[in-house]
Amino acid sequence: MATDEPGGIAKILKRDGTVVDYDRDRIATAIFKAAASVGGSDRAASEELAELVEKALIQTYGPGSIPTVEDIQDVVEETLINEGHASTARAYISYRARRADRRGKKASHAEVIDNIPYKKIYDALRWNMEHGCDTIEGINRIIADRLYPDLVQAGEQRYQDDINIGAEHLLDLDHDIRMVIIAGPSSSGKTTTMIKLAEKLGQKGIALKGINIDHYFYDLEMHPMDEFGDYDYESPQALDMALINKHIEALMSGKTIRTPHYDFKTGKRTLNVHEMELAENEILLIDSLHGLHGEMTNSIPDANKFKLYIETLGQVRNSEGVFMRWADNRLMRRMIRDSWHRQLKPMETLTHWHYVRKSELQHIIPCIKSVDYIVNSSMPHELPLHKSKLLGFFTEGMERFRNNPKRQDAYIRAKRVYEFLKDMTGIMEDSAIPPKSLLREFFGGSAYKY
């Protein structure tokens, strides 16, 4: 709700530098929350105070000005004190201090420069070096010494510890969190991470309920098609963002919704199928490639969200000192998963990957700058399994696409991954991988239901 005053406040400046619409109701809600914390219950009084705050803003900064969030908060405090609401003012000041502390904690847990989380990368490399798996030669030695099961156990524990730290970070924040978003590029392991995070928080009495965003895909025939007849279902526009946002807003308001159902085999969705509501003590959980895309949850303030990003931040080098690309790691996971879960052949996944990369570079990876915590899902012990299961497909891809000018992207990827894996000792049997491993999300045989 913008100001009714001619030439009044229409826009405000957020802390991240973006300009957004001014909403007096948000000021009233903040005042009402502060008053409620000290026994108040008069929403109408809070709305009257919000009007006084608005008039003070216009008087202080001038008609048509664009005050900052901090400017508004300063005026709220001053207005509460001047109007004789000292106890509410103290509660508001305390709340403001907690919010500032939370922002400081966010900044310290997700330091990102140019979309690259350097601290997490350093931690990953250091861990690999300590466990002798930072090179292909080192992994081969571990396998030759029959220590592969030990590497699996250590790698799985490292990943679980990373999730536990993220959970503790969430618990350290204030109690305004009503939504947890787990996002990241394709095949980074979002679903398993979501399940494990829910397990950890459940031990602390926090109940999470997930909404299946995959059910909000439009019918496949509505997606654009390239010259090869390949559909692009990787972009945010493949999802019914308006319906997602509408349903999320309804859930947050205590309403019951009916989500669609999407059939990946037929590429069709059916509306109003799965009934869903949030109990009073439940936090909404979103596991999606595009969970951080603004249109998906723009009806919910950022202060009510905890944003977790997951990526395969692998740090394994070949004999020439070249590190495996994170996207190549995820490509191999997806080639395996698509073959049994989505009825796609590995070669189809390889040739479709240009859509995946285009979308994630444009719509997903830049969102890493806005998150609260980053989980590293890379596992050096998965690479020998990928070698045995997939090397032949990369050899085939090199041969099939070498002289095809329209498929040079697939040829380059196939050659790059082949050159990385060719000297690695392969392991065909995956019995060492535990039932609750993230890798089971891709290999099958998981104790979790996806």
Tally of domains within the chain: 2
pLDDT value at residue 2:
46
For a pLDDT cut of 90, what percent of the chain falls above it?
54
| Same domain flag for 123 and 94 | no
Q: How confident is the model at residue 341 (pLDDT cuts 50, 70, 90)?
A: low
Position 5 pLDDT exceeds 90: no
* Residue 95 in domain: yes
| Same domain flag for 273 and 353 | yes
| Same domain flag for 210 and 337 | yes
Average pLDDT, stretch 230-244? Answer: 83
Task: Compute the mean pLDDT over every residue in the chain, rounded to the nearest whole number.
Answer: 88
pTM (two decimals): 0.74
Average pLDDT, stretch 370-388? Answer: 95
pLDDT value at residue 68:
85
| Same domain flag for 89 and 144 | no
The amino acid sitting at 319 is S
Q: Which domain holds residue 57?
A: 11-103
| Same domain flag for 82 and 125 | no
CA-nearest of 388, 265, 263 to 336 is 388
**Whether 388 contacts 427, CB under 8 Å:** yes
pLDDT value at residue 359:
82
Chain segment 407-435, per-residue pLDDT in tens: 999 999 999 999 999 999 999 999 999 99
Q: How confident is the model at residue 114 (pLDDT cuts 50, 70, 90)?
A: low
Final residue of a domain: which of 75, 103, 131? 103
Give the range among 134-143, 294-303, 381-390 with minimum mean pLDDT: 294-303
Chain segment 306-331, per-residue pLDDT in tens: 999 999 999 999 999 999 999 999 99
pLDDT value at residue 94:
78
Position 380 pLDDT exceeds 70: yes
Written in H, E and C, the secondary structure of 46-103 is HHHHHHHHHHHHHHHHCCCCCCEHHHHHHHHHHHHHHCCCHHHHHHHHHHHHHHHHHH
| Same domain flag for 95 and 139 | no
Chain segment 281-291, per-residue pLDDT in tens: 889 999 888 89
Position 7 pLDDT exceeds 60: no
Q: At a CB cut-off of 8 Å and minimum separation 6, what does 153 contact? A: none
* Residue 422 in domain: yes
Q: What is the CATH number of the domain that holds 350?
A: 3.40.50.300
Final residue of a domain: which of 103, 125, 141? 103
Chain segment 26-62, per-residue pLDDT in tens: 898 889 888 888 888 888 999 999 999 999 888 888 8
Position 110 pLDDT exceeds 70: no
pLDDT value at residue 109:
54
Q: State how far the Cα of 259 lies from the Cα of 133, in Å rounded to an integer.
A: 44
| Same domain flag for 58 and 127 | no
Q: State how far the Cα of 65 lies from the Cα of 74, in Å rounded to an integer.
A: 16
pLDDT value at residue 102:
60
The amino acid sitting at 17 is G
Average pLDDT, stretch 172-189? Answer: 87
Position 350 pLDDT exceeds 50: yes
| Same domain flag for 240 and 276 | yes
Number of Cβ atoms within 10 Å of the Cβ of 214 = 15
| Same domain flag for 225 and 153 | yes
* Residue 96 in domain: yes
| Same domain flag for 93 and 175 | no
Q: State how far the Cα of 12 lies from the Cα of 22, in Å rounded to an integer.
A: 6
Pairing label, strands 373-376, 268-276: unpaired
* Residue 435 in domain: yes
How many Cα neighbours within 13 Å face the side chain of 312?
27
| Same domain flag for 83 and 122 | no
| Same domain flag for 322 and 366 | yes
Position 18 pLDDT exceeds 90: no
Final residue of a domain: which of 103, 129, 153? 103
pLDDT value at residue 104:
56
* Residue 448 in domain: no
* Residue 4 in domain: no
**Whether 119 contacts 111, CB under 8 Å:** yes
* Residue 285 in domain: yes
* Residue 1 in domain: no
